[in-house]
Amino acid sequence: MTSLPIAVIGAGIAGIACARDLAAAGHAVRLFDKGRAPGGRVATRRASLPDGTTLRFDHGAQYASARDPAFAAALRAAGAAPWPDATRFVGTPGMSALGRALAEGLGIETLRDVRAIEGAPGAWMLRHYDASLLRPGRPVPTGVEARVDGPFAAVAVTVPAPQALPLVADLSGAVGSALRDIEISPCWTVMAAFPDRLALPDWLRPGDGGTLGWAAREGGKPGRDGAIESWVIQAGPAWSRQHLEETPEQVGPALVDALAARARSPLPAPLHLAAHRWRYALVERALGRPCLWDPAARIGAGGDWCLAGRVESAWESGRALAAAIMAG
């Protein structure tokens, strides 16, 4: 076993699964994420009403389906509860609790945006920055200092494929060219709270290719405080793509209108309305194998985009990547 640590970039479910298996096998692992907390797209957003009431919205993954009993067991151990049926699970009291619990003991370095992998195979260095000083996809502003960490025996990149590409393209031709084929669609997600209960079921997925992709009442899920009528409303992929560059102020009312159309009556004016754009949300064209690993470069990549846009696929990919790294 090598004495140098292994770096994992991205503490979404794939990165967490990869780091857990490496650590369990006795490897030193360092896990970096540009976000404030582990979990990636398995996330919960908090908001406050003017009277101080806290609202919570699962604005990313709505649930994790678990076909593999071992994954179901890991979810249960992380405090997940079945919803909306016995094969699907939500974190309690919110989806973000899953990432926190699954990553327990891994010592994640949060708010670190990795912008470059430097050095040579077997002795890689990571150049990373305080994520709160950077804007996604934009060059590093002058005056923001880098931290360079390493050397690392291997690097596992578990971020969405389009974000992995600039990190690895010059270091592994094989990994880089596979990443170019992946397609991931965006998703506009609206978080809305209302003064009254809406005349709608706890969740709906119209499946008609229209504006609305999915909507769910937060209080309908287990372990939530349902005092305030709060909804997550997701646009379908085609609508999200068409309206990608619109502002949250434009998208919020449009998706509330789409929900009102389902309720077949106007909705009360929201107490709270916000929108989040997931630029890389749902996998449309996957790799078709569980991970990428270049043994000569000692660089690998994984994530949901390897198999399918599902939390369980991210988990499976992260575990496969750990196994590939350990196999050499």
Ligand X SMILES: Cc1cc2nc3c(=O)[nH]c(=O)nc-3n(C[C@H](O)[C@H](O)[C@H](O)COP(=O)(O)OP(=O)(O)OC[C@H]3O[C@@H](n4cnc5c(N)ncnc54)[C@H](O)[C@@H]3O)c2cc1C
Q: Which residues bind ligand X (CB under 6 A)?
A: 9-15, 32-35, 40-42, 60-65, 113-114, 158-160, 163, 187, 189, 234, 278, 281-282, 303-304, 309-311, 314
8 A C-beta contact, residue 327 and residue 152: no
Helices 311-327, 69-77: inter-axial angle, 10-degree rounding: 100
Beta strand pairing status for 54-57 and 45-48? antiparallel
Alpha helices in 228-310 (DSSP H): 237-242, 248-263
b/e sequence 255-279, b meaning 16+ C-beta within 10 Å: bbebbeebeeeebeebbbbbbbbbe
116 Rama class: left (phi>0) / alpha (psi -120 to 50) / beta: beta
User: Rounded distance, CA 66 to CA 75, Å?
Assistant: 8
CB of 282 to ligand X, least distance (A): 6
53 or 203: CB nearest ligand X: 203
CB of 38 to ligand X, least distance (A): 7
**Whole-number minimum distance, CB 229 to ligand X, in Å?**
20
CB of 173 to ligand X, least distance (A): 20
Q: Which residue lies nearer to ligand X by CB, 63 or 231?
A: 63
Q: Per the structure block, which two tokens stand in for 41?
A: 């797209």
Specify the residue, 282 or 297, whose C-beta has the smaller distance to ligand X.
Answer: 282
Give whichever of 140 and 174 is closer to ligand X, judged by the CB atom.
Answer: 140
CB of 240 to ligand X, least distance (A): 9
131 versus 297: smaller Cβ distance to ligand X: 131
Q: How many CB atoms neighbour CB 226 within 10 A?
A: 12
CB nearer to ligand X: pick between 44 and 163: 163
Residue 37 or 53: the one with the smaller Cβ distance to ligand X is 37
Rounded distance between C-alpha atoms, residue 188 and residue 242, angstroms: 10
| Rounded Cα gap, residues 117 and 249, in angstroms | 37
- Separation in Å, CA 151 to CA 3, 22, 124, 216: 11, 17, 5, 45
DSSP reduced 3-state for 125: strand
Q: At residue 318, what are phi and psi to the nearest 5 degrees? A: -60, -40
CB of 264 to ligand X, least distance (A): 25
Closest separation between CB of residue 255 and ligand X, Å? 12
* Nearest distance, CB of residue 32 and ligand X, angstroms: 5
Q: Which is nearer to ligand X, 14 or 259 (CB)?
A: 14
